[in-house]
Structure 1
Amino acid sequence: MQEKLKQKIIEVCERKIAQKGRDVGLSFYAFFANKNDDPELLMEAATWWIMTHQLDHFEKAEKIKKMVEAN
């Protein structure tokens, strides 16, 4: 996983947890703007989320943050 994506995921997870609490869920779309401004990074996130880890559409932000930090 690119460092750029890793840092973005951690930042978004931390922000969502701070805003909505430890049980907040999110999908990999949470890491991107509504417009597709970085398709390569979006595909990397989708591949990591769907193909590599076979995660559900929504997962706990805390779980995702821990997974990314462990890599």
Structure 2
Amino acid sequence: MTPALREKAIAVCTAKIALKGEGVGLSFYAFFANRNDTPDLLMEMATWWIKTHRLDHFVKATTIKAMLIAER
């Protein structure tokens, strides 16, 4: 995963946690706009989420954030 995408995902997780609390769940779509103008980045995140880590569709944002930070 590119460093820029990792940092964007960490920022999104941080914002969602601040807004909705530590129990909030996310899918990898949470890191992109409804109209995705960056399909390569979407596929990069999907690969990390689905193929690399075999995560469920929704995972707690705190878990995702910790995983992303650990892989820096």
Normalised TM-score (structure 1): 0.98
Q: Report the Cα offset of residue 50 of structure 1.
A: 0.3
Matched, 1:51 2:69: no
The separation in 2 between residues aligned to 1:27 and 1:4, in whole angstroms, is: 19
Partner of 1:61 in structure 2? 61
Amino acid at match of 2:4: K
Q: Report the Cα offset of residue 4 of structure 1.
A: 1.1
The separation in 2 between residues aligned to 1:2 and 1:66, in whole angstroms, is: 17
Amino acid at match of 1:55: L
Q: Report the Cα offset of residue 15 of structure 1.
A: 0.2
The separation in 1 between residues aligned to 2:36 and 2:22, in whole angstroms, is: 28
Q: Report the Cα offset of residue 21 of structure 1.
A: 0.3
> Which residues of structure 2 form unaligned runs of 5+?
none
